[in-house]
């Protein structure tokens, strides 16, 4: 089947499969996306290439206007996937990025030299169609690890994907980058600057294997604001640290993580080239909000998730110990299974705090609240606490665990999910 035929499939018959697929449950909160505003200078397309499953959007192309600036952060997993290696090389080549090429269903990770050759070949094939240098194409893959990329369906559908590029295809693209996700994830925001409307829109995917050291599994955020390379790098790294670097589903860092920030520069406003630029503060605030929203959407759609959990660590002596306590609690299988059972088993939280990397912790000063209910103080169960209070607090699908270490002035928040029986089923059956 040619790429153009697959475009027709997407526009007509695809909705039959889609109605079935999007009925999957086990996610927290509403699934409806707000309007995803087009970003001037950015066009997208998504087609069903049959990379792993038939009739499922799995090949996405994002086209960038000439002069666009791109920044990226990638997984710190030593077994990084072939597309990560190639993407880093292409971004460092000095050739201006013009196209992003994303496939799902296959991670092209753990595939050795052939994997690198396949990633390069896919870039070269799209580059030939678009008449740009190979280095102007940045590749991304997500899916099963250890299997070679099926090149025939990818190459055969690049022409169709190129032909279907439109500015209003953010939602199909969000669907096209999914793997075990139960729903597409995206966010969009706008603000006024110098009489112009500045737009920031982004999509992401991620549901399992979420504990990135830099970003999330895949995230693509774009703005039409003009931004220098140095400032775009700064904006991405700082926003990533407070968003995608503060989420965890299962404590596993993917081989394929990538977070990309794009500035098309098509808005007719003054350039953001320093922190003192008038555009910097409002643009940073907008990007920060949007990336936190995207990060939260990944946690809410964690594999088998029934709870969205915010673990706030207060009055830590420094940022490192606040982060350590937050992630130690978030990664505890015993805490996560108790959350799934709506069981206020505060002893598990206490034990996790105690084994975090905090020197000379005075446990008698630590307090723990769950959804506003004081559970632990003075090194033991709070005198005012009752099991009925705990049971009521834990029934909510939104759980706030507030931990006060009473040893400093630093706060940090980590976002996570529970572990349900569905999580085990999803991951046990993932390759079948």
Catalytic residue list: 216
Burial annotation 259-295 (CB, 10 A radius, 16+ → b, else e): bbbbbbbbbebeebbeeebebbeebbebbeebbbbbb
Give the helix/strand (H/E) hosting 402: strand 398-404
Angstrom distance (rounded) from CA 417 to CA 394: 13
Angstrom distance (rounded) from CA 415 to CA 138: 30
- CB neighbours of 311 closer than 8 A, spacing ≥ 6? 326, 329, 330, 401, 403, 413, 414, 415, 416
Angstrom distance (rounded) from CA 237 to CA 254: 18
Q: How many CB atoms lie within 10 A of CB 53?
A: 12
Q: Would strands 398-404 and 59-64 be described as parallel, antiparallel, or unpaired? A: unpaired
Quick one: how far is CA 12 from the chain centroid?
Answer: 29
Helices 346-354 and 319-331: angle between axes, nearest 10 degrees: 140
Q: Kindly write down the DSSP assignment for every residue of 48-98, as one continuous string.
A: ---SSSTTS--EEEEEE-TT-EEEEEE---TT--HHHHHHHHHHTSSSPP-
Q: Kindly write down the DSSP assignment for every residue of 207-239, as one continuous string.
A: SSS---SSS-SEEEEEE-S-B-HHHHHHHHHHH
Residues facing residue 186 across a β-bridge: 203
Quick one: how far is CA 356 from the chain centroid?
Answer: 26
């Amino acid at each position: 089947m040619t790429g153009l035929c697959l475009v027709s499939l997407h526009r007509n018959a695809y909705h039959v499969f889609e109605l079935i697929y999007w009925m999957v449950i086990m996610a927290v909160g509403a699934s409806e996306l707000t309007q995803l505003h087009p970003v001037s200078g950015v066009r997208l397309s998504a087609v069903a290439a049959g990379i792993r499953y038939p009739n499922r959007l799995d090949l996405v192309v994002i086209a960038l206007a000439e002069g666009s600036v791109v920044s990226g952060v990638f997984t710190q997993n030593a077994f990084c996937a072939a597309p990560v290696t190639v993407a880093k090389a292409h971004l460092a080549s000095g050739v201006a990025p013009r196209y992003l090429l994303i496939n799902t269903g296959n991670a092209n990770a753990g595939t050795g030299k052939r994997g690198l050759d396949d990633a390069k070949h896919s870039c070269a094939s799209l580059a030939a169609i678009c008449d740009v240098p190979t280095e102007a194409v940045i590749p991304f893959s997500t899916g099963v690890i250890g299997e070679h990329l099926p090149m025939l369906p990818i190459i055969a559908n690049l022409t169709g994907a190129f032909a279907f590029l439109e500015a209003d295809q953010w939602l199909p693209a969000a669907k096209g980058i999914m793997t075990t996700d139960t729903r597409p994830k995206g966010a969009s925001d706008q603000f006024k600057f110098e009489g112009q409307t500045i737009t920031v829109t982004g999509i992401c995917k991620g549901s399992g294997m979420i504990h990135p050291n830099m970003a999330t599994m895949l995230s693509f955020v774009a703005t039409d604001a003009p931004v220098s390379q140095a400032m775009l790098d700064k904006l991405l790294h700082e926003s990533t640290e407070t968003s995608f670097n503060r989420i965890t589903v299962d404590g596993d860092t993917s081989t394929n993580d990538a977070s990309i920030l794009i500035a098309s520069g098509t808005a007719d406003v003054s350039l953001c080239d320093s922190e003192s630029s008038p555009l910097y503060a409002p643009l940073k605030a907008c990007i920060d909000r949007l990336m936190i929203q995207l990060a939260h959407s990944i946690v809410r759609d964690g594999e088998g998730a029934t709870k969205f959990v915010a673990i706030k660590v207060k009055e830590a002596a420094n940022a490192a110990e606040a982060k350590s306590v937050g992630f130690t609690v978030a990664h505890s299988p015993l805490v996560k299974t108790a959350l799934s059972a709506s069981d206020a088993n505060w002893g598990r939280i206490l034990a996790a705090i105690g084994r975090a990397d905090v020197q000379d912790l005075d446990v008698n000063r630590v307090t723990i609240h769950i959804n506003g209910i004081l559970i632990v103080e003075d090194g033991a169960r709070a005198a005012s606490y009752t099991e009925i209070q705990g049971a009521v607090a834990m029934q909510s699908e939104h759980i706030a665990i507030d931990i006060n270490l009473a040893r400093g002035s630093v706060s940090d928040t980590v976002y996570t999910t529970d572990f349900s029986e569905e999580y085990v089923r999803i991951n046990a059956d993932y390759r079948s």
